[in-house]
């Protein structure tokens, strides 16, 4: 039998073999974030470790970004997706500013983020988002999202790798679940203490959480950032 | 898949099972008895792999009867359930386990207490106020959650069982033409017309 | 492990230990019983919690009761917690290649009334903890709760409150556990068993 191409051996059977085309565009970079709404403040906190499997890529990669004087976004999951999503939000907020001559409100950013996530319903951003800020009345607001844009306003929420460790603690200490004590509004100091305790505890057991804790405190005076050490092992 | 339901009351247990014998998609007969009387005051209902149920329940029945003959005293429902559970648990880790779900309804003549044991094909056994096996459970457990009380009389028990079966008939896509109901109380086991 | 659901937690205190479990038994999402306890008494001041596959929970509870009784009859003394932990470990490792699907938690006071807690995985790898041991489908939530609520040298009543709050808030974030709970506090002179009401969803 003659070969079709010069230099190629002649065979009497088809030579096409299936080639596997696989594309895995997602990676889990770990990390934990939480947000708690107060009466006239909002706390957004996240650890700064970025990891891939058992490797720590960096000990300081912030997960939270200040979007305006009243709004902070925090994201965990696939860091590449989080970066892109943050950029998109910031760009849309800038266009909004140019078009309307004012900064987007927290509620507007919240609605917009839901739409942005749902726009990629069939190739989602692998991101756990929590939006914290002050609403139009100056009250603390927390909006939480799933990767495809379902969202809800809540009083407190934890997301990311240690969410299952921290969320029941927040239910207990912030929402007073399973407690007989009358539900009361917590002060900023109390909320900060609970936030720090949550992360020191989670760092003990979750290998993807640690290094530093970055806390954004949103009040009517703007956004203050504080940093705290977490265990680095 | 077959449905078994059991409800305890003040001084009795009422049980019911659909009487269909099915092979693949074909209904072979109705009027199939999916229960065995283990002794005078213990009734076992079974469902699951056809054949396994009959084989296993008759094996248990004969051993329980043998115990009664040998010792001149009947095992309590709790003892019956423990024995059946253990036999099923041992079979679970054998080469060919029995694939049967059981309900054991009994009346303890010494303590004058009715009891119902729910045992699944993995041999998890629990003493429950009411229970069901099969798809019927998805429909009647909520009815029982709403209407069951520990102190119901036999008439109320029959009414409640009718309510459950009515729910199954109206909501389940499979046709459930007839159920057979049996009551266990201090006088023994008897068939009841629903 | 997640077929029937369940949670067990044990904690040490000052001269006391506590062990607690939820009471649900389900078949995946369907709850069958709300009275299925997962803790079993082995000796006057020794308990074991067995979350996992319900059939194996029952089989092992019987097995351990048998072995503990035989130990007491042969040795004519009480079974020590540490000894029992090793008995549990070897019983599980015996089935290395077709395991019992349970992850036991052991809690007790030894003969000097020192607190002892330990946990094991399904093939008997022991983990002796100084503070708390958690197990079951709610283990993540329990780790988070215990890590933030527990502190050293709790008195029996404080220990009861701590373990109860840890368990209740943890199981409320797990759809396979809850529906009531049982808490056992072991002190040198008595064993206090309490049943807790909790959310029914």
* Percent of chain B's residues with pLDDT above 90: 94
- Provide the percentage of residues in chain A whose pLDDT is more than 70: 95
Residue A162: what pLDDT?
98
- CB spacing of C144 vs A162 below 8 angstroms: yes
Answer yes or no: is pLDDT of A14 > 90.
no
pLDDT in tens, B143-178: 999 999 999 999 999 999 999 999 999 999 988 889
Averaged pLDDT for residues B19-43: 94
- Rg over alpha carbons for chain C, rounded to the nearest Å, is 15
Nearest to A112, CA basis, from A126, A129, A98: A129
Q: What is the mean pLDDT of chain A?
A: 94
The Cα of A96 is separated from the nearest Cα of chain C by a number of Å equal to: 39
Closest C-alpha to C184, from C154, C166, C159, C152: C159
Angle at A206 between CA A201 and CA A208, to 5 degrees: 125
Pair of tokens at residue A212:
């530093």
Residue B58 has pLDDT above 90, yes or no: yes
pLDDT number for residue A20: 79
Predicted local confidence at residue B89, as pLDDT: 97
The reply to whether residue C58 touches residue B85, judged by beta carbons under 8 angstroms, is yes
For chain C, list residues whose CB is within 8 angstroms of any CB belonging to chain B: 3-4, 25, 27, 30, 32-33, 35-36, 53-55, 57-59, 62, 98
Chain C positions in Cβ-Cβ contact with residue B137 (cut-off 8 Å): 30
C175 interfacial to chain A (CB closer than 8 Å):
no
Measured distance CA(C127)–CA(C83) in Å, rounded: 14
Cβ-contact C137, C8 below 8 angstroms: no
Which chains border A (3 or more CB–CB pairs < 8 Å)?
C
User: How much is the pTM?
Assistant: 0.93
Which residue in chain B has the smallest CA separation from C63?
B86
pLDDT over 80 at C74, yes or no: yes
User: Which pLDDT does position C104 carry in this prediction?
Assistant: 98
Q: Which of A2-16, A138-152, B122-136, C1-15 has the lowest mean pLDDT?
A: A2-16
Q: Give a three-class secondary structure readout of chain A.
A: CCCCCCCCCCCCCCCCCCCCCCCCCCCCCCCEEEEEECCCCEEEEEECCEEECCEEEECCCCCEEEEECCEEEEEEECHHHHHHHHHHHHHHHHHHHHHHCCCCCHHHHHHHHHHHHHHCCCCCCCEEEEEEEECCCCCEEEEEECCCCCEEEECEEEEECCHHHHHHHHHHHCCCCCCCCCCCCCCHHHHHHHHHHHHHHHHHHCCCCCCEEEEEEEECCEEEEEEEECCCC
Examine the pLDDT at A2 and tell me if it is beyond 70. Answer: no
Mind listing the pLDDT tens digit for each residue in A82-123? 999 999 999 999 999 999 999 999 999 999 999 999 999 999
Is the pLDDT confidence value at A13 over 90? no
- The angle subtended at Cα B125 by Cα B120 and Cα B131, nearest 5°, is 70
Q: Would you state the pLDDT for residue A3?
A: 60
Contact of chains B and A by CB distance (3 or more pairs under 8 angstroms)? no
- Average pLDDT value for residue range C37-62: 98
Range C104-123 average pLDDT: 98
pLDDT at residue A7, rounded to an integer: 73
Name the residue with tokens 């505890």.
Answer: A201
Taking an 8 Å cut-off on Cβ atoms, the answer to whether A164 and C172 are in contact is no
Chain A residue at shortest CA distance from C199: A178
Please tell me the predicted confidence (pLDDT) of residue A1. 53
Beta carbons of C153 and A178 less than 8 angstroms apart: no
pLDDT for C147 equals 97
| DSSP three-state, residue B169 | helix
Asked if residue A207 has pLDDT above 80, the reply is yes
Q: Return the residue matching tokens 């303890």.
A: B108
Asked whether residue B46 carries a pLDDT value surpassing 90, the answer given is: yes
Answer for the pair B43, B188: CB distance below 8 angstroms, yes or no: no
Task: Compute the average pLDDT of residues C152-175.
Answer: 98
Give bridge partners of residue A73 from the DSSP assignment.
A65, A131
């Amino acid at each position: 039998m003659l070969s079709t191409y010069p230099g190629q051996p002649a065979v009497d059977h088809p030579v096409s073999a299936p080639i596997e085309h696989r594309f895995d565009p997602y990676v889990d970079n770990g990390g934990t974030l939480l947000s708690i709404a107060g009466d006239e403040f909002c706390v957004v906190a996240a650890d700064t470790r970025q990891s891939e499997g058992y490797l720590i890529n960096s000990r300081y990669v912030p997960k939270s970004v200040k979007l305006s004087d009243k709004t902070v976004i925090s994201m965990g999951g696939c860091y590449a997706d989080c970066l892109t999503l943050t950029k998109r939000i910031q760009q849309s907020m800038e266009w909004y500013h140019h078009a309307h001559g004012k900064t987007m409100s927290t509620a507007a950013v919240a609605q917009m983020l839901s739409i942005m996530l749902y726009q990629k319903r069939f190739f989602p951003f692998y991101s756990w988002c929590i939006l914290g800020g002050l609403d139009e009345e100056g009250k603390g607001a927390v909006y939480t999202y799933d990767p495809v844009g379902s969202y809800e306003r809540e009083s407190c929420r934890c997301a990311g790798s240690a969410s299952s460790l921290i969320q029941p603690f927040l239910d207990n200490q912030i929402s007073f679940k399973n407690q007989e004590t009358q539900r009361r509004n917590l002060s900023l100091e109390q909320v900060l203490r609970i936030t720090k305790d949550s992360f020191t505890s989670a760092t003990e057991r979750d290998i993807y959480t640690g290094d530093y804790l970055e806390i954004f405190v949103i009040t009517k005076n703007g956004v203050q950032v504080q940093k705290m050490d977490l265990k680095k092992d | 898949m077959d449905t078994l339901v059991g409800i305890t009351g003040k001084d009795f247990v009422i049980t019911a099972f659909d009487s269909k014998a099915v092979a693949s998609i074909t209904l072979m007969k109705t009027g199939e008895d999916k229960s065995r009387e283990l002794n005078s005051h213990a009734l076992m209902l079974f469902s699951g792999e056809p054949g396994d149920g009959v084989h296993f329940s008759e094996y248990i029945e004969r051993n329980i009867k043998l115990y009664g003959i040998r010792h001149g005293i009947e095992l309590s429902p709790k003892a019956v359930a423990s024995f059946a559970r253990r036999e099923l648990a041992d079979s679970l880790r054998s080469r060919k386990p029995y694939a049967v779900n059981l309900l054991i309804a009994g009346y303890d003549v010494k303590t004058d207490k009715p009891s119902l044991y729910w045992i699944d094909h993995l041999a998890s056994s629990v003493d429950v106020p009411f229970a069901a096996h099969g798809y019927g459970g998805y429909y009647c457990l909520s009815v029982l959650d709403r209407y069951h009380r520990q102190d119901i009389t036999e008439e109320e028990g029959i009414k409640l069982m009718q309510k459950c079966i009515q729910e199954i008939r109206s909501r389940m896509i499979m046709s459930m033409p007839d159920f057979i109901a049996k009551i266990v109380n201090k006088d023994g086991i008897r068939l009841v017309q629903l | 492990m997640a077929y029937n659901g369940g949670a067990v937690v044990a904690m040490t205190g000052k001269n006391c230990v506590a062990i607690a479990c939820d009471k649900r038994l389900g078949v995946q999402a369907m709850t069958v019983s709300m009275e299925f306890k997962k803790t079993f008494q082995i000796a006057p001041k020794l308990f074991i919690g067995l979350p996992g596959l319900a059939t194996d929970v029952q089989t092992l509870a019987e097995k351990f009761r048998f072995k503990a009784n035989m130990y007491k009859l042969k040795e004519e003394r009480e079974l020590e917690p540490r000894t029992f932990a090793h008995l549990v470990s070897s019983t599980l490792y015996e089935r290395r290649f077709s395991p019992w699907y349970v992850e036991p938690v052991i809690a007790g006071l030894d003969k000097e009334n020192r607190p002892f807690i330990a946990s094991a995985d399904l093939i008997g790898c022991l983990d002796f903890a100084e503070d708390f041991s958690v197990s079951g489908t709610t283990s993540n939530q329990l780790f988070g709760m215990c890590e933030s609520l527990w502190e050293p040298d709790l008195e029996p009543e404080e220990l009861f409150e701590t373990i109860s709050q840890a368990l209740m808030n943890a199981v409320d974030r797990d759809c396979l556990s809850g529906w009531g709970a049982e808490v056992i506090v072991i002190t040198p002179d008595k064993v206090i068993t309490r049943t807790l009401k909790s959310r029914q969803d």
